[in-house]
Amino acid sequence: DAKTTQPTSMDCAEGRAANLPCNHSTISGNEYVYWYRQIHSQGPQYIIHGLKNNETNEMASLIITEDRKSSTLILPHATLRDTAVYYCIVRVANTDKLIFGTGTRLQVFP
């Protein structure tokens, strides 16, 4: 699976958009980009995933660059409850493993 690079930490003001970047320059054509988050010490929670098109759901938007070498997770109106570690994962569609990196610690402040 392709390796991902994320900033160690980020801050965001409550009510503003949080934009979390992820580099995956070695991604191959059949690898999906997944985002999960882990709030405090709870089990990780799925957010969104995509292949090449931008995706949006009730939690977030995922913007994937045209060359697919990077992506951005957007939380449109961050709240204090969005404070968490956010993991960007790339995964080949026909493999069985789900491998996590070290993630970005997002702190939302009032």
Partner 1 sequence: NAGVTQTPKFRILKIGQSMTLQCTQDMNHNYMYWYRQDPGMGLKLIYYSVGAGITDKGEVPNGYNVSRSTTEDFPLRLELAAPSQTSVYFCASSYDRGYTEAFFGQGTRLTVV
* Contact call for residue 94 and partner 1 (CB under 8 A): yes
* Contact call for residue 41 and partner 1 (CB under 8 A): yes
Going by their DSSP bridges, the two strands 70-75 and 55-56 should be labelled as unpaired
* Contact call for residue 46 and partner 1 (CB under 8 A): yes
Q: How far apart are CA 16 and CA 40, in angstroms?
A: 21
* Contact call for residue 55 and partner 1 (CB under 8 A): no
Whole-angstrom CA distances from 63 to 4, 5, 60 are: 15, 16, 10
Of 8-16, 58-66, 72-80, 93-101, the window that binds partner 1 (rule: CB under 8 A) is 93-101
Of 28 and 102, nearer to partner 1 (C-beta) is 102
The binder of partner 1 chosen from 45, 54, 65, 79 (CB under 8 A): 45
* Contact call for residue 40 and partner 1 (CB under 8 A): no
* C-beta of residue 62 within 8 angstroms of C-beta of residue 49: yes
Q: How far is the CB of 32 from partner 1 (least distance, A)?
A: 6
**β-bridge mates for residue 34, sequence order:** 49, 89
Q: Which of 90, 85, 88, 76 is nearest to 28 (CA)?
A: 90
Binding site for partner 1 (CB under 8 A): 32, 36, 41-46, 49, 85, 87, 91-103
